[in-house]
A and B are shown apart, each in its own frame.
Chain A
Amino acid sequence: MGYTENELAKDLENQEYKFGFVTNIDSDKAPKGLDESIIRFISAKKNEPEWMLEYRLKAFAIWKEMTEPTWAHVHYNKPDFQDITYYSAPKQTKKYESWDDVDPEMKETMAKLGISLEEQQRLTGTNVAVDFVMDSVSVATSFKAKLGELGIIFCSFSEAVQEHPELVRKYMGSVVPMTDNFYAALNCAVFTDGSFCYIPKGVKCPMELSTYFRINEGGTGQFERTLVVADQGSYVSYLEGCTAPQRDENQLHAAVVELIALDDAEIKYSTVQNWYPGDKEGKGGVFNFVTKRGICERNAKISWTQVETGSAVTWKYPSCILKGDNSIGEFYSVAVTNNYQQADTGTKMVHLGKNTKSTIISKGISAGKSQNSYRGLVQIHKNAANARNFSQCDSLLMTDECGAHTFPYIECKNSSAKIEHEATTSKIGEDQIFYCLQRGISEEKAISLIVNGYCKEVLNQLPMEFAVEAQKLLAISLEGSVG
């Protein structure tokens, strides 16, 4: 109800990628290519302590021995890792004291993204704290003081390395080790910035914490690192949104997100991803190879919600390790692919503790000539007595040329487990569209209605302002896609 028809109509007029603009801000960047000296350069630029540099170098040594994974159901030209700029920072790297100090052009960038802090402050009655990351350096962190009163730490990752090294050293790599996979290792070696969040014992974070990533510089890879630690009995809802300007060459994005929910804690992590998907012929677009994982201690809960509409190639499996007894993992996903986009996405639910529960709701929508795959693993270990899983994987096909694939894996080593898997594949109904048309509803709006209805279970999991944005994105992504 928050989103009016006029707004949708306006959005529909703008069917091309609406975030395709480049901001002319001087940037401070490393030469192209990757070797030890680049890593030392990044570390020095960020004025990092010795232990951080060692961590990076160790990861780099491991990465060099690894090969790119090929098991995903995606086809693309492998990125040339020597042709990427690994560090690009807007020249003005000093932290802003107040909103007025922020570079006007950067403010404009944020305004174009529709997420200016002013707007956020006005609209949300100051209940969203934003950490805005543009090409690797976090430029504005708001609401810090207010959060500080509660002992909540919400800052850029590099700041956390400086200010809270004990927390970073303790938790970084504890969920996604540097040896985990090719892209995670690369990220450990060259990550530039990201966000860090710590919620102290028993504290319920009173506002949604939000990070907006945006790739601006041509030819830069973005290697973000996010670490969220919810101490015992705490709660936090974290929002992540992504956009990238329209560029011809493929841009690589390889992030690592680690969530740690200690006893009785709850983390809700929501993502709306609309990186540039490439043009109608499949040229350009972002490669999004992301490792996201959370660990739940006793009675803890982690809930991942994602709406994926962008990127040329997506390779992403937000997962939960249900280590503690009675812990809960949830995964709600909408993945839309259009034109030549390819997505291989899903989740892993690893049940280690007793009475652990997981829920997977995945809604894939394929249009154009795209390929959309769900890949999921539900693993019940032998000590995970009374573990329960419910999975539902639905695929919606918009044309005759697209593909929907489901790869559900189940490994169960405890006979008391209950595992349910439901899957459906359907083609968007001509009858449904005709019914809408006969009620005076245009075809575009009809598709938007039907698709939003189909995704409702997932969209309902998103915080209000994100849900509105996600609905608009779905409508824009599927413009003119029925065939």
Chain B
Amino acid sequence: MISIKNLHASIDGKEILKGLNLEVKAGEVHAIMGPNGAGKSTLASVLAGREEYEITEGSVDFDGQDLLELSTEDRAREGLFLAFQYPIEIPGVSNINFLRTSLNEIRDYKGEEQISAKDFMALVREKSALVELDAKLASRSVNEGFSGGEKKRNEIFQMAMLNPKLSILDETDSGLDIDALRIVANGVNKLKTAENATIVITHYQRLLDYIVPDVVHVLYNGKIVKSGPKELALELEEKGYDWIKAEVDAQ
């Protein structure tokens, strides 16, 4: 699905990613954990195509295509979805209109017909149920006046609507209470198929109680320094990151 090799990225001349390698296959869920400032959100931004970051070295293959050559919108149209850590508000633009525009742009890119109003509304009903999103939120302005939990659920709702190949969840658990966390995680689990993949970026182990990863990676100082099975997350929760830092620094 995605193969990242020796990725170096910097912002304002400061190198954040320093030779990152990561391989995620279809049907897999990978968790990326790491201390503050390790480069977790940078990785998400770079993959999604934020312009502020400069890629100085490395390659990213996304389902057979050179991801770094694609524009931000084409990455999305090819099936890369980023659930934002801080979802953006767009006043005056209804969630429905936003999603319909998004869906139709993606369909247009693939040479498919525009979705009919009827099919679209049916899809909205089906997918909003998945994340227990109040139907009223669908007609409100994008994220405007949403609670923290509603914003995150709205991200997963959008993910469900757009049916991406690769989803990157950037700290989707931050700011969620335990019930919202369960709902969001259930949504993600239900969307999982053998054809898609998910990268879960998180600080804490608790999200991984609900979304069980196939592989856990530790990102530290711009690189993946340790990978392991889901038990690694528990170990990190228990012992913190210091032992890993010590291990890396010792090398």
The interface of chain A, by Cβ under 8 A from chain B, is 1, 4-6, 429, 431-432, 434-443, 445, 449-450, 452-457
Residues of A within 8 A of B88 (CB): 429, 431-432, 434-435
The interface of chain B, by Cβ under 8 A from chain A, is 48-50, 71-73, 75-77, 81-82, 84, 87-93, 97-99, 101-102, 104-106, 108-109, 114, 117, 141, 158, 162
**B72 adjacent to A5 (CB under 8 Å):** no
Residues of A within 8 A of B141 (CB): 453
Pairs across A and B, CB under 8 Å, 14 listed: A1-B97, A5-B114, A432-B89, A435-B87, A437-B49, A437-B73, A438-B48, A449-B93, A449-B97, A449-B98, A450-B90, A452-B92, A453-B91, A454-B91
Query: How far apart sit A453 and B90, CA to CA, in the bound complex (Å)?
Result: 7
**B98 adjacent to A450 (CB under 8 Å):** no
Query: How far apart sit A6 and B105, CA to CA, in the bound complex (Å)?
Result: 10
Query: How far apart sit A445 and B102, CA to CA, in the bound complex (Å)?
Result: 10
**B93 adjacent to A441 (CB under 8 Å):** no
Which single member of A1, A5, A439, A443 contacts B162 (CB below 8 Å)?
A: A439
**B73 adjacent to A449 (CB under 8 Å):** no
Which single member of A432, A437, A445, A457 contacts B90 (CB below 8 Å)?
A: A432
Residues of A within 8 A of B158 (CB): 439
Min CB distance, B78 to chain A, in Å? 9
Q: Give the nearest-CB partner of B77 in chain A.
A: A440
State the 5 A-B residue pairs at the shortest beta-carbon distance, nearest first: A453-B92, A453-B93, A456-B92, A440-B76, A435-B88
Q: Give the nearest-CB partner of B74 in chain A.
A: A440
Which single member of A1, A437, A455, A456 contacts B72 (CB below 8 Å)?
A: A437
Q: Give the nearest-CB partner of A448 in chain B.
A: B101
Which single member of A4, A6, A440, A452 contacts B102 (CB below 8 Å)?
A: A440
**B76 adjacent to A439 (CB under 8 Å):** yes
**B102 adjacent to A439 (CB under 8 Å):** yes
**B76 adjacent to A438 (CB under 8 Å):** yes
Which single member of B76, B91, B104 contacts A437 (CB below 8 Å)?
A: B76
Min CB distance, A434 to chain B, in Å? 6
Min CB distance, B116 to chain A, in Å? 12
Q: Give the nearest-CB partner of A454 in chain B.
A: B92
Q: Give the nearest-CB partner of B101 in chain A.
A: A441
**B90 adjacent to A441 (CB under 8 Å):** no
**A439 adjacent to B98 (CB under 8 Å):** yes
Query: How far apart sit A399 and B209, CA to CA, in the bound complex (Å)?
Result: 46
Residues of A within 8 A of B49 (CB): 437-438
Query: How far apart sit A431 and B82, CA to CA, in the bound complex (Å)?
Result: 13
Which single member of B72, B102, B108 contacts A434 (CB below 8 Å)?
A: B72
**A445 adjacent to B105 (CB under 8 Å):** yes
Residues of B within 8 A of A456 (CB): 92
**B104 adjacent to A5 (CB under 8 Å):** yes
Total contacts A-B at CB 8 Å? 81
Min CB distance, A98 to chain B, in Å? 39
**B162 adjacent to A440 (CB under 8 Å):** yes
Q: Give the nearest-CB partner of B103 in chain A.
A: A440
Q: Give the nearest-CB partner of B86 in chain A.
A: A431
**B106 adjacent to A440 (CB under 8 Å):** yes
Residues of A within 8 A of B105 (CB): 5, 439-442, 445
Min CB distance, B144 to chain A, in Å? 9
Q: Give the nearest-CB partner of A437 in chain B.
A: B72
Residues of B within 8 A of A441 (CB): 73, 101-102, 105
Q: Give the nearest-CB partner of B87 in chain A.
A: A435
**B102 adjacent to A455 (CB under 8 Å):** no
Which single member of B81, B90, B91, B162 contacts A435 (CB below 8 Å)?
A: B90
**B93 adjacent to A435 (CB under 8 Å):** no
Q: Given contacts A5-B104, A449-B98, are A438 and B82 in contact (CB under 8 A)?
A: yes
Residues of B within 8 A of A437 (CB): 49, 71-73, 76
Q: Given contacts A434-B50, A438-B76, are A6 and B114 in contact (CB under 8 A)?
A: yes
Residues of B within 8 A of A449 (CB): 90, 93, 97-98, 101
Query: How far apart sit A152 and B89, CA to CA, in the bound complex (Å)?
Result: 47
Query: How far apart sit A352 and B75, CA to CA, in the bound complex (Å)?
Result: 60
Min CB distance, B59 to chain A, in Å? 21
Residues of A within 8 A of B162 (CB): 439-440
Min CB distance, B215 to chain A, in Å? 25
Interface centre among A5, A429, A434 (most CB of B within 10 A): A434
Query: How far apart sit A435 and B93, CA to CA, in the bound complex (Å)?
Result: 13
Q: Give the nearest-CB partner of A8 in chain B.
A: B101
Query: How far apart sit A445 and B77, CA to CA, in the bound complex (Å)?
Result: 15
**A452 adjacent to B114 (CB under 8 Å):** no
Residues of A within 8 A of B109 (CB): 440
**B93 adjacent to A5 (CB under 8 Å):** no
Min CB distance, A477 to chain B, in Å? 18
Contacts beyond the supplied A431-B88, A436-B102, A445-B105: 18 A-B pairs with Cβ under 8 Å = A1-B97, A5-B114, A429-B88, A432-B89, A435-B88, A437-B76, A438-B49, A438-B73, A438-B82, A439-B99, A439-B158, A440-B73, A440-B77, A440-B106, A440-B162, A441-B105, A449-B98, A453-B92
Min CB distance, A471 to chain B, in Å? 11
Residues of A within 8 A of B90 (CB): 432, 435-436, 449-450, 453
**A438 adjacent to B72 (CB under 8 Å):** yes
Residues of A within 8 A of B89 (CB): 432
Query: How far apart sit A452 and B97, CA to CA, in the bound complex (Å)?
Result: 11
Residues of B within 8 A of A432 (CB): 88-90
Q: Given contacts A440-B102, A445-B105, A449-B97, are A435 and B84 in contact (CB under 8 A)?
A: yes
**B76 adjacent to A450 (CB under 8 Å):** no
Interface centre among A4, A5, A435, A455 (most CB of B within 10 A): A435
Query: How far apart sit A437 and B91, CA to CA, in the bound complex (Å)?
Result: 17
Min CB distance, A338 to chain B, in Å? 20
Min CB distance, A440 to chain B, in Å? 4
